[in-house]
Each structure stands twice: as C-alpha cells, then as structure tokens.
A and B are shown apart, each in its own frame.
Chain A
Amino acid sequence: MNAKSISAQWRPAAILGLLVLLLIAPFVLPTYPLSVLTEILIFTLFAMSLNIVLGYAGLPSLGHSAFFGTGGYAVGLLAKYFGTPAPLALLIAVVAGIVLALITGPFVLRTHGAYFLILTLSLTQVLFGIVWLWRRVTGGDDGLPGIPTPKLPFLLGRVSDTANFYYLTLIVVGIAIATIAWVVRSPFGLALVGIRENERYLEGLGYPTWTLKYVAYALAGGYGALAGGLFAYFKGFVGPGQISWLLAGEGMVMVILGGAGTFWGPAIGTILVLLLRYEVSAFTQRWVMILGIVFILTVLLLPQGIVRLPNRIRELRAQLQREAPLPRPRAPAHQTPSERTVEQVIERS
C-alpha cells in the first residue's frame, strides 16, 4: 500500500478533525483571531467558487469579484430598502450572482485564454463604474454602510456576537463547500476537467462543452455571490472595493498558490494570503515583497500549488535516497471511472 492511499484512508478522519477544531474555535480564540478566521472561511468559499472556472474548467477569469460584489450589493440593498431577513437575502444574492453569470456568460465564453481574462476583467470594471456612478442607489464610493449582522437565534445570548456570526458563516460556508465537493466529483465536474485538458476531444466524445462551461460559470457566479453576501454582513458594509479587480486578482492568486484544480488548494491559498496580509504586515512593512517572493517560490518549487507539498517532499526524499521517484498511484481495478476522485484524474492527466 503506497502513501497516497494511506492519506486517502485518513481523509474522512482529517475532515472530521478539522470540523471539530472549527467548531470549538470560538471557545479558544479571542475576538480578533476569530474574526480573521471568519474572513478566511468567507474567502475560502470565494476562492473555491473561482476554482470551479479557473481550476477545473481552465477558464482564466480575472473578473470573479463582479459576483462577489453583486452578492454584497444584493444583501446591502435588500437590507437598506426592504429590511429583508438574512436567509432570504443570501438566497437572492445567490440568484443575482447566477443571473449575472447567465447574462455575461454567452459573451465571455466566446473568447479564449488571454481574451477571456481581459473580457471578464473589463466587464467587472464596467460593473464597478456603474456602481460608482449610480450614487443615488448604490451610494457611490461611500457604499452602503450599516448592514445589520444576522445572528443565529438558537445561539443568542449564549455566545458573543462575533462567535455567533462565525457559526453562521461556518454553517453556510460548510454547506456550500460540501455541495462544491459534490459538484466537482460528479460526472459534470470530471467533464469540466476534461474540457480544461482537451476541449476538442471532449466535444468529439459528444459532450456539450459549451453548455458545461456555461453551467460552471453560472455555478461559480452563484457561490461567489454567496461569499460576497456573507462578507457584506461580516463587514456591515458594502462598497465598490468589493467589486474591484484587485479582489479578483487576489482570488486568482489564492487559487493558483494553493493549487488550481485541486479541491483543498484554494483553502490553503486563502489562509496563506490572508495570514500574510494580517500577520506579516503587523511586524514588517515589506509584506508586499514577501508575498511576491512567495508567489515566485511557489511557481518554481511547487508549480501545482502548495497543496502538493507532501507529494513533493516525498518525491524529493525518494530522489535523495537515489531511488526513482514514486510511481504515480494507479486507481484500483475494481473502481469504476465515475468513482475516481478529481485529484486522481488530475494526477493521471
């Protein structure tokens, strides 16, 4: 039995352990680290939603913040004008994100590669401009302040407000991530990987590649808007900054650093980028440079993302022992193709 399948065996236990840690976090952590953890959860969802298009389908979107901002503004506008309760507002935010993706999808999906990158970026900038100039409704660059933070009713009075919102985020993000896991491991998700690797081949096999990409784009939009809605609640504020392409770029970096097209990569990338931003900036002014160095080192040493670090170490160790690198894990014969995990498919590609 090789190391890969051992780690696969322990995966359920690891996820359970992580979940327990996340559940007891509010009892251990002070307020500030807990709010950073909340933000990490929200941006993990953001990065994972981007990963659906960027990592799995291989579409280099630099405009994912458009959905994040749409979700945020949906929540902000509903709270400001209608006082809509949070569950409904988040649902509407998701619908808004999907609708935006369905509208822009036919245009952006006509382009490829660098053109796709710039068109998504351009549309995001246009949305930014609309929000910026439509001061009467969106508040322009002042944004919409004073969005009330929703609370879980059954925890009221038992935990602090920060912890309450943390649990709410944990539940929403947890459900979302579980559904993303289901989506990317489904035949649909595997077909997306196929499109990334060889679109023509998949077309030849009879897959409706355009429709698959369109659906992936819409799904990513919906999840991105959900993250944006949560973030608007988290900050109690939504502004044009939440549509800014800088955010889209940051999301892209999170996904690539962690490992595009891997399931947990974006989460690792998010943790890394946010911790660098908050923790390293606290003791040095040069954190931008450190971030740049981290990018370059990741590309040079771990081109498949930080999530591949254990594999890389194993490979290097094998090389040091003057052995051939470990053979790639083969899927057991009794496993049917549809049961293969995405990681295995990527590993083999």
Chain B
Amino acid sequence: MPVNTASLVIGLSYASLLFLVSVGLSVVFGLMRFVNLATGSLYLIGGYIGWSVARSTGNFLLALVAGALAALVVGILIERGFLQRLHRKELLQVCLTLGVAYIVQDVTRWIWGGDPLRLRPPELLRGSMELFGSVVPIYRVALIGIGAVLAVLVWYLLERTKWGAYVRAGVDDLEMVECLGINARRIFAIVFSLGALLCGLGGALGTPVTGVAPGTDIQLQLMALIVVVIGGLGSVTGAIIASIVVALVDTIVRTFWPEASFFAVWALAALVLIVRPQGLLGRAA
C-alpha cells in the first residue's frame, strides 16, 4: 500500500498546522484584500515564546497560551500601528509586512540563535500508539484532533453566527457592509487579531513537530499563501480543504520523491490557478 496510515497521520497533523496559519490570512485577505507577509513571523514568535515558556516552566499548556498571546500582541501592534493606514494599498502592505518579517527574523535570531529548537511533547502525549495496524506518534494524532476542533470552531464562528455573517458580507462587498452601518474596521481588527492568535497557537503547537528556526517563518508563510489561494480568498471551508490537500501532497511527495518535494506543492498551486484562477472555493474576482 503506497499511502499508509503513518504518512496519513503525518500529513493530516501538518494540515492542522497549515490551517491554523492560513485561516486568518485567508479571511483577512478576503475581507480587506490585505496581504500579510508577516504571517509566518507570527508562527515563529508563537514557536519561540512557547519553547522558552515550556523550558522554564515545564508546562506545555502554559507554553501554548503564551505563544498564542505573544503572537496576538504582535499582531495587534502591526494592525494598530501600521495596517490601518494602508487600506487598499497592496504594494505598500507587501513592503511593510515584509519589513516586519525581516525584523522579527533578525530579532528572534538574536535572542534564540540560529539553531533549530525543538520541544518535547507534554508527558501525556509522548510516545507512540498503534492505529489501523501502523505505529504513529501520539502527539501527531492529538494535533489532528486539535486542528479538527479548531477548524469546526472557526467554521461555526464564521458561517453560523451573526458576527460571522458580518465578516462574510465584508468579504463579498465591504463598501455595502459599511453602508449598512457596520463598523468594518473593527471587524477587520478582530479578524486580524484572531488570525494572529491562531498563528501563534500553531507555532507553539508545531514546535514539537517542525521545530523552530530562522527560515521556519518563510516556509510556513509560503505554504500558507499556497493554501490560501488554492482554497480561495476568504473561504474557511476552502482553507480547510486546501490545508489537507497541500499537506497530504507535500507529505506523500516527500516520502516517494524527496528531491521534488519542495516544488510539488507549487506545481499543484500553479495547476489549480491555471484551471481555476479564483481558487477552488473562491468567488470569481
């Protein structure tokens, strides 16, 4: 059997991380056409802070909270400090968030050094278990569970609540939403902050799996961009599906043709965009 349970588990756990990083990016993209190239940096911050907190307190749960909160704070700073004034100026957004990404990368390299850091999973989730006849790490299985729960939560929030309806309306037609007297800027700020929070959480959760190092941010940033455009800007369901597809393709190619692994997902992205220029679940631009 070419694809066994182990690679499926690895792929799906990676999909969980990708979803956490990309869902905020996707909705913010869709809502304000805002290009945030510092998404990977938020992941990096979550990972590093989580690592340090776990190291000093030994409490993994605390590390998750700290990582998520750190990314949230940085996210709010970016949003309040800069983004508000760059509405609809894509090139400047690219330049600014890239600048933030550079600074974050350099500062983290300064503080934590250039070596990859890895965290041991919490006591409860260490070791491996047997699942459908193959041995898989427990932590990865847990990661899939956490990712699934969060995906359902985010989906419910955006698709089934009144507040989510505002966001989706904003994705469709921001000006109309503003005309109806809804404060779109506040919604944007909240979405951006929640996205940052999820990124940081993803970073802390991912530290035992991917580790953190300078360069993790770029890797995750690129993967998140692929996920976002394949899924379609502003679509949560699209982000979920695309995360799974991208992570599985990446994992499978990595197993069977390692040399081609770094560009297989790009070929996938190119293919999807050539066939469907607006992504799988995106609306025609």
Chain A interfacial positions (CB closer than 8 Å to B): 54, 60, 107, 110-115, 117-119, 121-123, 125-126, 128-129, 132-133, 249, 252-253, 256-257, 260, 286, 288-289, 291-296, 298-300, 303
C-alpha spacing A107/B276, complex, angstroms: 10
B111 at the A interface (CB under 8 A): no
User: A119 contacts B270, CB within 8 Å?
Assistant: yes
- Sorting the interface of chain B by its residue count into under 10, 10 to 19, 20 to 34 or 35 or more gives 35 or more
User: A132 contacts B263, CB within 8 Å?
Assistant: yes
User: A256 contacts B33, CB within 8 Å?
Assistant: no
Chain B proximity of A128: nearest CB distance (Å): 6
B90 at the A interface (CB under 8 A): yes
Query: Given that A115-B285, A122-B267 are known contacts, is A303 also in contact with B92, CB under 8 Å in the complex?
Result: yes
B66 at the A interface (CB under 8 A): no
Which of B91, B100, B103, B273 contacts A122 (CB under 8 A)? Answer: B273
Chain B residue nearest in CB terms to A286: B106
Q: Which residues of A contact B92 (CB under 8 A)?
A: 256, 299, 303
C-alpha spacing A60/B225, complex, angstroms: 14
User: B29 contacts A114, CB within 8 Å?
Assistant: yes
User: B100 contacts A132, CB within 8 Å?
Assistant: no
C-alpha spacing A114/B88, complex, angstroms: 12
User: B274 contacts A107, CB within 8 Å?
Assistant: yes
Additional 13 contacts, C-beta under 8 A, given A115-B278, A288-B106: A60-B94, A110-B274, A111-B278, A114-B29, A115-B233, A115-B273, A119-B269, A122-B273, A129-B262, A256-B91, A289-B102, A289-B106, A289-B107
Q: Which residues of A contact B267 (CB under 8 A)?
A: 122, 125-126, 129
B112 at the A interface (CB under 8 A): no
Chain A residue nearest in CB terms to B273: A119
User: B263 contacts A115, CB within 8 Å?
Assistant: no
Chain A proximity of B216: nearest CB distance (Å): 15
B142 at the A interface (CB under 8 A): no
Q: Which residues of A contact B33 (CB under 8 A)?
A: 113-114
Query: Given that A122-B266, A256-B91 are known contacts, is A296 also in contact with B96, CB under 8 Å in the complex?
Result: yes
User: A133 contacts B95, CB within 8 Å?
Assistant: no
A-B contact pairs, 13 of them (CB 8 A): A60-B90, A110-B277, A111-B285, A112-B285, A113-B33, A125-B266, A126-B266, A289-B106, A294-B99, A295-B96, A296-B96, A299-B95, A303-B89
User: A129 contacts B277, CB within 8 Å?
Assistant: no
Which of A110, A129, A292 contacts B263 (CB under 8 A)? Answer: A129
Q: Which residues of A contact B85 (CB under 8 A)?
A: 300
C-alpha spacing A119/B264, complex, angstroms: 14
C-alpha spacing A113/B85, complex, angstroms: 19
C-alpha spacing A286/B82, complex, angstroms: 23
C-alpha spacing A257/B277, complex, angstroms: 29
B98 at the A interface (CB under 8 A): yes
Would you list which residues of chain B between 85 and 123 have a CB under 8 Å from chain A?
Answer: 85-86, 89-92, 94-96, 98-103, 105-107, 110
Q: Which residues of B contact A253 (CB under 8 A)?
A: 95, 98
C-alpha spacing A121/B274, complex, angstroms: 13
User: A296 contacts B273, CB within 8 Å?
Assistant: no
User: B91 contacts A296, CB within 8 Å?
Assistant: no
Chain B proximity of A73: nearest CB distance (Å): 16
Query: Given that A111-B273, A293-B99, A295-B102 are known contacts, is A256 also in contact with B263, CB under 8 Å in the complex?
Result: no
Most B C-beta atoms less than 10 A away, residue of A54, A125, A133, A291: A125
User: A295 contacts B99, CB within 8 Å?
Assistant: yes
Q: Which residues of B contact A118 (CB under 8 A)?
A: 225-226, 228-229, 269, 273
User: B90 contacts A292, CB within 8 Å?
Assistant: no
User: B259 contacts A133, CB within 8 Å?
Assistant: yes
Q: Which residues of A contact B89 (CB under 8 A)?
A: 303
Chain A proximity of B174: nearest CB distance (Å): 14
Q: Which residues of A contact B94 (CB under 8 A)?
A: 60, 252, 256
Chain A proximity of B229: nearest CB distance (Å): 4
B260 at the A interface (CB under 8 A): yes
C-alpha spacing A57/B101, complex, angstroms: 27
